[in-house]
Amino acid sequence: MSEQRADRGLSWNEQVIKEFRENNGAVGGMFEGAPLVLLTTVGRKSRKPHTNPVIHLRDGERHLVFGSNAGSDKHPDWYHNLLASPQVTMEIGTEDGAVKPFATRAVPLEGEERHHYWELQCSLAPPFRRYEEQTDREIPVVALYPLDLSAESERTRPIGQQLIAHHQDLRAELARVRAEIEGALTGGDGPEGVRPPAAGLTEELRRRCLTYCYGLQLHHIREDGAFSAFERQWPWLGPAIERLRAEHRVVEEALAGFEELLEQARNGETDAAAVHDELEKVTGGLEDHFAYEERVLLPALDQSPSPSPPSP
Ligand SMILES: [Fe+2]
Ligand SMILES: [Fe+2]
Ordered by start, the domain boundaries in the chain are: 4-146, 153-301
305 pLDDT band, cuts 50/70/90, is: very low
Residue-level pLDDT at 310: 53
Ligand 1 centroid – CA 128 distance (Å): 38
| Collapsed DSSP state (helix, strand, coil) of residue 249 | helix
Q: Does domain 4-146 have CATH number 2.30.110.10?
A: yes
Ligand 2 centroid – CA 133 distance (Å): 45
Contact yes or no for 103/111 (Cβ under 8 A): no
CB atoms within 10 A of CB 91: 23
Ligand 2 centroid – CA 216 distance (Å): 9
* Candidate from 145-149, 243-247, 269-273 with smallest mean pLDDT: 269-273
Ligand 2 centroid – CA 252 distance (Å): 13
198 pLDDT band, cuts 50/70/90, is: very low
Measured distance CA(9)–CA(15) in Å, rounded: 9
168 pLDDT band, cuts 50/70/90, is: very high
Residue-level pLDDT at 5: 46
Contact yes or no for 13/52 (Cβ under 8 A): yes
Nearest C-alpha neighbor of 27 from the set 58, 56, 5 = 5
Measured distance CA(100)–CA(107) in Å, rounded: 21
* 122, pLDDT greater than 70: yes
Ligand 2 centroid – CA 307 distance (Å): 22
Residue 150 is which amino acid? S
Residue-level pLDDT at 153: 80
Residue-level pLDDT at 287: 92
Return the ligand number nearest the Cα of 164: 2
Nearest C-alpha neighbor of 215 from the set 180, 146, 166, 250 = 166
Ligand 1 centroid – CA 245 distance (Å): 7
Return the ligand number nearest the Cα of 167: 2
Nearest C-alpha neighbor of 166 from the set 123, 131, 116, 218 = 218
Measured distance CA(82)–CA(106) in Å, rounded: 7
Mean pLDDT of the chain: 89
Return the ligand number nearest the Cα of 166: 2
* Candidate from 44-53, 128-137, 219-228, 299-308 with smallest mean pLDDT: 299-308
Kindly report the backbone phi and psi dihedral angles of residue 285, in degrees, each rounded to the nearest multiple of 5, phi listed first. Answer: 90, -10
Rounded mean pLDDT, 100-113? 98
105 pLDDT band, cuts 50/70/90, is: very high
Ligand 1 centroid – CA 147 distance (Å): 17
Measured distance CA(218)–CA(85) in Å, rounded: 12
Ligand 2 centroid – CA 245 distance (Å): 10
Ligand 1 centroid – CA 172 distance (Å): 16
Return the ligand number nearest the Cα of 245: 1
Percent of the chain with pLDDT over 90: 70
Ligand 1 centroid – CA 162 distance (Å): 12
Ligand 1 centroid – CA 264 distance (Å): 28
* 196, pLDDT greater than 50: no
Rounded mean pLDDT, 168-181? 93
Contact yes or no for 63/143 (Cβ under 8 A): yes
Q: What is the CA radius of gyration of the chain?
A: 22
Return the ligand number nearest the Cα of 240: 1
Max mean pLDDT among 20-34, 76-90, 180-194, 269-283 falls in 76-90
